[in-house]
């Protein structure tokens, strides 16, 4: 089984910026559209062109994200329960993202198969983490799921 490995680097205090690298080559930059909010985030390729949107459409009782390309909705991602667990209904099928203790490791499942792993503890810096994506799956979609996790964790840690 082959995996593509990415590194996500987080910077910024009020306005977070996520730089996504593959083999030390910058692939995407993800930024909030607003200085004070991470509810609307734009994925840009290494040439600065927008390729994906991640919008948080949460209510008081539910945390939900919509992932779309520039033309259509690709997925609706809903946080389940009090831990870090998500369910994604997408054009690629249904996926479950399950977190482990201390919000450091996450696994994305397609039915019973593991299709991606996120590790927030692989690197010494708390502002960097890794993700391995099984070859043949849409990398932008799965990377958007990883950013959605990060947004939820940051909100939980910051109160």
Higher pLDDT, 155 or 93: 93
Three-state SS at 149: helix
Instruction: Count the Cβ atoms, other than its own, within 10 Å of residue 132.
Output: 17
Identify the DSSP state of 83: S
Q: What is the pLDDT, as a whole number, of residue 33?
A: 65
pLDDT of residue 101: 61
What share of the chain has pLDDT > 90, as a percent?
Answer: 43
Which of 5-9, 86-90, 136-140, 151-155 is the least confident region? Answer: 151-155
This prediction has a pTM of 0.85
Domains of the chain: 3-157 (2.40.160.200)
* pLDDT for position 34: 61
């Amino acid at each position: 089984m082959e995996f593509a490995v990415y590194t996500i680097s987080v910077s910024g205090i009020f306005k977070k910026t996520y730089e996504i690298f593959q083999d030390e080559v910058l692939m995407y930059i993800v930024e909030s559209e607003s200085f004070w909010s991470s509810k609307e985030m734009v994925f840009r390729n290494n040439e600065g062109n927008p390729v994906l949107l991640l919008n948080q459409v949460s209510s008081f009782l539910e945390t939900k994200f919509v992932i779309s390309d520039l033309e259509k909705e690709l997925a609706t991602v809903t946080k389940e329960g009090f831990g870090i667990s998500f369910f994604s209904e997408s054009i690629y099928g249904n996926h479950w993202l399950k977190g482990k203790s201390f919000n450091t490791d996450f696994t994305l499942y397609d039915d019973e198969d593991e299709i991606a792993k996120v590790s927030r503890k692989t690197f010494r810096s708390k502002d960097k983490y890794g993700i391995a994506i099984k070859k043949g799956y849409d990398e932008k979609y799965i990377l958007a799921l990883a950013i959605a996790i990060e947004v939820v964790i940051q909100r939980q840690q910051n109160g």
